[in-house]
């Protein structure tokens, strides 16, 4: 089957299982997930979706998220959007006087009310102001990740060629390719920020562009000369948010006849002045403090800091709080050329891999779980952890905790070498596991950096395996799951207490 036909077939298989085109209100995707806005959550067939070969798992948050994996999701999403549009175009107009459905009206109404109540309760649980703000931050930075990855790999290749003394006539061109995006990243952040907060995107980009304009070097604020790029992405974020509020104020008070001239002018003028004579300096100080704190934390905390970061990263992801780290990563990349936090956080995935291998060995009779592990393990090694988390460790309960232990030990290993003075960083955000190798950078040469990161992965694999093999299963849990089963539909609470297999649905994963 051609790749395009395969992607369309995947989209066509998913659409009816989420209630059809009429039930889809929005379609977007991130690095690994197809994120759908749905009118009625009760129309979704979760188990049938999970059974599709291309689907690695499902997660419910403010949107319904179908895990397809990197690469695949970017190809399936356009086909899914086409099918949704075709389905809406072909749908008949709703009848004004349709005959009653054969099912009793009261039953249908009750079911609809229950579904709406469940949906509302879930949304309310996840709609705290702080989490909504973090989602906006994520929506600003996630679209930038492909460029960060591409430019980061080119930067790594350029550094390797320079160290080897090869193709020296080409390295300046590669340096320009690698650095061009980072030099203007503030503009893209400003554009996305204005778009996310309801303003005119190009005005957000225009105000943020002031930060990277070389001419600001001639301007003095707070008794100091400004420097181009001072404040970085944090300054761009603040400048664009301010521009949105100024623009909205202008839209309310400026007469319509003058709006096209006055509103953009006042937006750029007022926001620009505040940015130049306030935000750039303040954001610059904050950015510097973030970099200094990250370096201090790993230089002094070392193994302890790495243990905490690596061990608690997966719970943070499941609570949605990891999104707060995105601008921190980006700020560190701007300042130092790499983020020292990501390689440590990536150890959480190594713990999952080790735990999954232990589960595979501890449940030799459970063909279903072993089959899931075999299919999900390659993705886990490449840093795509959702299939192992939601398909194996989290439903079982204890193995999720022991996997976090593996991540803690891997993080401690990398943190220990940071404390010794060997910084290990990533030039981009997004990839993890083995996929992070092309993006590694540090202060003691590429060979040392790769060796430390690889050592951390091995420690994470081993610690996750040992912790899960010896402490991940109670006797009751083994008796419950080490039997031949149909595809897993059983559940275990986070405490490790087993539930009746096959008949009970798997517990819903913790959500943001």
Is 77 strand, coil or helix?
helix
Lookup result for tokens 């093999």:
469
Phi, psi of 54 (to 5 degrees): -80, -15
Shortest CA distance to 464 belongs to which of 419, 508, 398, 509? 398
Lookup result for tokens 């099918």:
83
C-alpha to C-alpha distance for 1 and 487, rounded to whole angstroms: 26
Output the CA–CA distances (angstroms, integers) from residue 55 to 33, 138, 314, 322, 477, in the order listed.
10, 23, 21, 24, 27
Q: Over 334-396, what HEC string results? A: HHHCCECCHHHHCHHHHHHHHHHHHHHHHCCCCHHHHHHHHHHHHHHHCCCCHHHHHHHHHHH
Asked whether the CA dihedral 251, 253, 259, 263 is positive or negative, the reply is negative
Write out the DSSP string of 442-472.
ESS-HHHHHHHHHHHHHHHHHHHHHHHHHHS
| Neighbouring C-beta atoms of residue 172, cutoff 10 Å | 10
Half-sphere exposure of 310 (CA within 13 A, CB side): 41
What kind and span of H or E run contains 512? none
C-alpha to C-alpha distance for 449 and 446, rounded to whole angstroms: 5
Q: Is 151 a catalytic residue?
A: no
Among residues 30, 151, 250, 404, the one annotated as catalytic is 30
Is 60 strand, coil or helix?
strand
- Catalytic positions, written as ranges: 30
């Amino acid at each position: 089957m051609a790749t395009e036909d395969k992607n369309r077939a995947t989209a066509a298989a998913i659409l009816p299982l989420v209630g059809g085109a009429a039930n889809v209100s929005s379609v977007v995707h991130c690095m690994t997930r197809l994120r759908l806005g749905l009118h009625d959550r009760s129309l979704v067939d979760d188990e049938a979706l999970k059974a599709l070969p291309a689907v690695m798992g499902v997660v419910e948050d403010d949107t319904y998220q179908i895990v397809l994996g990197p690469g695949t999701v970017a190809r399936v999403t356009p086909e899914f959007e086409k099918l949704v549009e075709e389905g809406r175009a072909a749908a008949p107009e709703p009848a004004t006087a349709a005959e009653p459905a054969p099912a009793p009206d009261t039953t249908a109404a009750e079911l609809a009310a229950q579904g709406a109540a469940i949906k509302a309760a879930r949304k309310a649980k996840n709609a705290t102001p702080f989490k909504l703000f973090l989602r906006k931050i994520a929506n600003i930075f996630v679209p930038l990740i492909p460029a960060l990855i591409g430019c980061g790999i080119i930067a790594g290749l350029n550094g390797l060629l320079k160290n080897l003394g090869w193709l020296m006539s080409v390295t300046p061109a590669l340096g320009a390719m690698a650095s061009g995006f980072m030099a203007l990243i503030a503009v893209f952040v400003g554009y996305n920020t204005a778009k996310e907060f309801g303003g005119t995107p190009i005005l957000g980009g225009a105000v943020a562009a002031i930060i990277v304009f070389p001419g600001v070097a001639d301007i003095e604020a707070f008794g100091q000369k400004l420097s181009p790029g001072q404040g970085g992405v944090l300054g761009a974020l603040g400048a664009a948010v301010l521009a949105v509020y100024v623009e909205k104020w202008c839209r309310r008070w400026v007469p319509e006849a003058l709006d096209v001239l006055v509103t953009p002018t006042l937006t750029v003028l007022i926001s620009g002045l505040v940015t130049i004579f306030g935000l750039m300096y303040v954001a610059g100080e904050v950015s510097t403090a973030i970099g200094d704190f990250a370096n201090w934390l790993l230089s002094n905390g070392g193994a302890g800091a790495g243990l905490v970061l690596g061990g608690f990263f997966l719970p943070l992801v499941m609570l949605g709080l990891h999104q707060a780290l995105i601008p921190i990563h980006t700020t560190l990349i701007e300042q130092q050329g790499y983020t020292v936090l990501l390689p440590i956080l990536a150890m959480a995935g190594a713990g999952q891999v080790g735990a999954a291998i232990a589960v595979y060995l501890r449940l030799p009779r459970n063909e279903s779980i072993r089959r899931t592990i075999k299919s999900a393990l390659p993705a886990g090694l490449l840093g795509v952890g959702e299939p192992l988390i939601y398909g194996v460790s989290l439903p079982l309960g204890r193995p999720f905790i022991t996997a976090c232990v593996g991540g803690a030990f891997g993080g401690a290993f990398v943190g220990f070498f940071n404390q010794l003075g060997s910084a290990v960083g990533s030039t981009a955000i997004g990839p993890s596991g083995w996929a992070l190798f092309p993006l590694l950078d540090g202060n003691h040469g590429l060979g040392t950096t790769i060796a430390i990161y690889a050592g951390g992965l091995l420690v994470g694999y081993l610690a996750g395996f040992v912790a899960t093999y010896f402490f991940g299963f109670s006797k009751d849990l083994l008796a419950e799951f080490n039997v031949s089963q149909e595809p897993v539909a059983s559940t275990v609470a986070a405490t490790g207490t087993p539930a009746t297999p096959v008949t009970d649905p798997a517990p819903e994963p913790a959500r943001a």
